[in-house]
Amino acid sequence: MNFVRADGIYANNIDVHSLKLINSCHFDATSKGYVSFEYCDFNDIFTLNGKAAHIILKKNLIKKAVLVRLLDSDYFTLKDNTINEKLDIYSYNSEYRWDWSNNLFNSDIDLSDTQLPVYFKLKNNKFKTADYKLNFTYCKMDSAQFKYFNKNPLGKCLITLSPDNASNVIIDSKLFWIEYDSLFRYDEMLTVYEKVINTCRELNMEESIEGFDIQYQIFKIRHKYGIFGESIVQFQDYWWGFGYKRSNILLNIVWAFLASLLIVFIGYKKVFRAYSPNSDHDTELVIKECTESFLERFKVVFFYTALVFFSWRVDHARVDYRRYPWIALLIYTIYVIGLIHLAYLAAFVLAK
């Protein structure tokens, strides 16, 4: 067949199988179901317009360019094709999923002004050169649409990358979240993250380096700690933003110390009787002075709290467990919280 032009077609499903064309093909159709091209041989430009629930291009040989124009679909499957010239996708609104696997792209791919799907699988494709970069930074994203699907509260495109394709993409962490694929081993997934981050480093994409490194840390934490992983992720995020908001440590220390100070200030009598760090002081006399003077009480409580909170050790022999078991537990809690804060503070200083 020399030439095909199909305009204004409306059908539930459209199957085109084993079509061989010498010249160009222009296809403009509307389908409630799918539009499928399989085992076709196109010698010239292939233009695809229209609307369908699912667009399928599978096992085709396209010797010139593929032009996707003003196409609207929920699913876009591109598998086992050979495309010898440019794949040009312009103003394509795909609301849900792309699956690009095992294709051979012998020329450039242009995704300018293309709406990103909720899910995107890019696996085991070959490009015109081993170091070819598929640039997604000019794509559009509809966060509200993503959240509508309820499985993507992040409002980002969830991308699945095979290790061999991870170095072939330029993606922005504001637009993409790297999705775990159970078909890959743990070490292969680490490779995916590392390749994406290395590409960002090469291009000086500082925000994306940080964003994907955080995703990398989250993946490792969830894998290592299992059911406790999510709690640790939340803690790491709050505590110091996975190492990118280290100033949070100082703020957390201040808040933790003030909370401890308030507790000791309220229950100072029992606290002092339960644990007296210094044997040279008369505990009852100190309590009496604190009761008579608010300022004295504040000063003593402040230094007492600081001594427990910022101490590397507690003198266990001076803790009265028998008379004040719960107060003793409170003192140890303040001590442990302070110790944790000191450890993170040390990490903060060393990192500087």
| In contact, 276 and 269? CB cutoff 8 Å | no
Nearest residue to 39 via CA among 22, 6, 16: 16
Q: Which helix (H) or strand (E) holds 254?
A: helix 247-266
| In contact, 334 and 305? CB cutoff 8 Å | yes
- pLDDT at residue 318, as a whole number: 79
Percentage of residues of the chain with pLDDT beyond 90 = 30
What's the CA gap between 51 and 93, in Å, rounded? Answer: 10
Residue 8: pLDDT over 50? no
Tokens read off for 121: 């699988």
The pLDDT tens digits for 161-214 are 999 999 999 999 998 999 988 888 999 999 999 999 999 999 999 999 999 999
Q: Which helix (H) or strand (E) holds 106?
A: none
Inter-axis angle of helices 229-240 and 247-266, nearest 10? 100
Residue 132 one-letter amino acid: Y
What's the CA gap between 42 and 83, in Å, rounded? Answer: 10
What's the CA gap between 57 and 25, in Å, rounded? Answer: 14
The pLDDT tens digits for 101-113 are 999 999 888 887 7
Tokens read off for 220: 């490792």
Residue 1: pLDDT over 50? no
The pLDDT tens digits for 44-98 are 788 877 777 888 889 999 888 777 765 677 888 999 999 988 888 766 666 688 8
